[in-house]
Amino acid sequence: MDAYRTTGSDRGAGTADERAGGSAPVTGRVRAVRLLPTAAALTAVLAVLLVCGTRPEDVARYAGYALWSVLLPGTLVFRALRRRPHTLVEDLALGAVTGLVLELAAWGVVVRLGLQSLAVLWPLAVVLPFALVPGLRRHWRPRGYTRPPLSWSWTVAGLVALTAVYFGEVFLARFPILPTGEPSRVYGDLPYMISLAGNAKYQMPPTFPQAAGEPLHYHWFTFAHMAMSSVVGGIDLPVVAMRLMVPTLSVLTVLTLVAAAHRLSGRLWAGPLAVALFMGVGEFTAAYPNFIDSWLFGAPAVGLLSWASLSLAYSQPLLIALAAAVGEVLRGYGADSDRRAVPPLGRGVLVLVGLFAVASSAAKASTLPVTLGGLAVAGLALAVTTRRIPRAVLATGAILVGAQLFATALVFDFQSYGLQLGLFGNVRKYWADTRPGPAPVRAAVALATLAAFALNHQLRLLGAVPLLWRRRMRLEPVQWFLLGAALAGPAAYLLIGGFNASYFTIASAPFAALLSAWGWCELAERAALPRRAVAALVAGAVLAGAVLTWLIHGFSDRWAEFSVRLLGGDAGSRAHWPLLPMLAAALVVAAAAVLGLLLWRGAGRVRPALRGTGGVVLITGLCAVGLPALPLDVLQGREYGWDFAWALSGRQIEAARWVRSHSRPADVLATNSHCWQFDDHAYGPECDNHRSQWLSAYSERSVLVEGWAYAPRLVARSGGGVVAREPFWDQRLFGLNEDAVYRPTAELIERLRQEHRVRFLVVDRKAGAESPRLREFAEPVFDNGRVAAYRLP
């Protein structure tokens, strides 16, 4: 089907000027028509932000920051590194990602030298050379872009709008920017992430803000980006975290994926399809509601789709851009003529690989290992088929390994953050109680568990099956790369123990979507589907997803009971029962697929036009089984809320922000608030959840001892889990901190000030009322009834 290829026929779908490839004069009317999809997408994003309580001036400030500090310098540098223009979307998407990398370097210089007040000027280091050097001026207005048809532009605009609406529903509309009630609720990890960004505004490298001076061996590049958003844009950090950052980076993820799919596959429509597979086809499950405790195989890509983990939101466009750059190196050694219409990036591609790899290395620790796995598979395939590995591929591997070593040594300090080898450690629990049973039963349960894992997480990879089948496993090097990376993440999850290993699976999702979209397009080309048939196929998939959403939402409990009766087996072996609704549903889907294929084959005898189209219909139908994940996530947010949303008092926020306004960035705070309870009750000595982070988050100051559950040193010792109950590692310091609140003396207060640079002591009276004698040694400067602040002399 020619509509899926990047050839002259792509332009045939557009206007007369589009068919001319840009050579014909462009009238104002035609230009306005071309801008409509972009305007509609931006309007949708803006509407979501405004409806969810974002102030227009904050939106304007953030837009100015993004254009000046990210898009402009990044696009200029990207244009200088690539050889020839391809599409404007590619220039802007990969240019924006390049800008994120440049921003990291600028942050390091600005914060290290204490030049935050001049941070807004850093893009001049890029803009001035491109304005003054004659050889660089041409990159301001490049010519020769390939213009996509309007139908493609509207499709991408629709995907951008749907992405914004989704995040508006599940995130922006669910949590306030600043809690004001008694109590309001906020997702439990967001204050921690805000506190890291607040620390990154003044510390390079950042430190652990809940224990002043404690090193932060963690992937903290995300929080440097948030810090620059706040400093350059003049925007309050909670506004960046709770409103602006997630939808903006998600839109960038969509556009980067579109550009990467087009470049690597040579098929224009592979881009929107890859976005649909990546964002729309989620985990296959027959359970509703699906709370954190019932997640079957770690963090699902939908349940954590870039808002509960801000580092995931930041890392995704960087990872996809890295995949595009590495794939560009590899596609030069393939023979697929379908990609000849996409001009090569040129020699600058290795520079882009280096930029994206270094930024990805500590944006999310799971991304580079997955990319390296894919490159290793591609290198092995080249070695087998050509008996050599080209120098460019070896150089690419060296760059990726170097970036990984950089992060491992300089950012993570050789800490594994609790990850450790353990074959099937994350899934063994499902067959743990079958050990006394017969060996065939144990084997069957183990195989069923692995099948459930594949079904749960890998539906979006189904489009790669016809690609592998048609080519008889003789793939292009770039296809081996995508397949290797798509499988490396799930393999790491099965090989490495700990909940955080699930992020390897999530990191593989973009690679799976890219390869699957490529395979679907080849299948559609072979079937020669007309456009109306494609539209009907898409509508049918959406309808099937809607019906499945209704069934799961309304009947999941009864289905679970039926599944246990059907497949439960021995009543004494129950560990695998949570998998049974999914496996029973898979049997129904498989039976329906077989019946559908038989009926389709019979219909093909009556209507010859249907012959050869059964494969693409089958793959589309099976992928549609994963479509309910997104709407169910929206429904669960409306009906239940996020089950990790904790109470946070508006009076706590008021006190923290008062301290921020009346202190210096280098000042250290002390507090008696160390725990965080779901219901905001007085905890006293029975505290067992040392996750208090509100003071460091909303004051943007380091705290001597606040909540230490996420301290890297503790998480590393616990195998990657949260250490919510373990006591603070320095009991002498902890005792000094507590005595200053409950048993103060002049000597204690002086020690806090001289030895630990404490300037304010903040008391949360829900944790315990301060001693009346405290005002003898420190000046009371704030009190709203619940929280009081004292300034040390």
Per-residue model confidence (pLDDT) at position 274:
96
Residue among 392, 368, 362 at smallest CA distance from 379: 392
Segment among 29-43, 398-412, 483-497 with least mean pLDDT: 29-43
Residue 160, CA distances (Å) to 14, 67, 439 in order: 21, 18, 51
Please report the pLDDT score of residue 759 as a whole number: 95
pLDDT of 748 reads: 92
Give residue-wise pLDDT tens across range 257-302. Answer: 999 999 999 999 999 999 999 999 988 888 888 888 788 888 888 7
Is the pLDDT at 349 greater than 80? The verdict is yes
Look-up: residue for tokens 């960035």? 665
DSSP for 44-85, please give it. Answer: HHHHHHHHTT--HHHHHHHHHHIIIIIIHHHHHHHHHHSSS-
Q: What is the pLDDT of residue 681?
A: 58
Q: State how far the Cα of 205 lies from the Cα of 424, in Å rounded to an integer.
A: 36
Whole-prediction pTM = 0.92
CB contact at 8 A, 379 and 389:
yes
- 731 has pLDDT over 60: yes
**DSSP H helical segments within 234-285, as ranges?**
237-239, 245-265, 270-275
Count of Cβ atoms closer than 10 Å to residue 251 Cβ? 23
Average pLDDT taken over every residue of the chain: 87
Q: Are 122 and 68 in contact (CB under 8 A)?
A: no
State yes or no: pLDDT of 650 exceeds 70: yes
| pLDDT for 337 beyond 60 | no
Sign of the dihedral defined by the CA atoms of residues 500, 501, 502, 508, in that order: positive
The predicted-structure confidence for 558-602, as pLDDT tens digits, reads as follows: 998 888 888 776 555 678 888 889 999 999 999 998 898 888 888
- What pLDDT, on a 0 to 100 scale, did the predictor assign at position 532? 85
Q: Note the pLDDT of residue 601.
A: 81
The separation between the first and the last C-alpha atoms of the chain, rounded to the nearest angstrom, is 77
What pLDDT shows up at residue 512? Answer: 95
Q: How far apart are CA 188 and CA 186, in angstroms?
A: 6
What are the tens digits of pLDDT across the range 504-538? 999 999 999 999 999 999 888 888 888 888 888 88
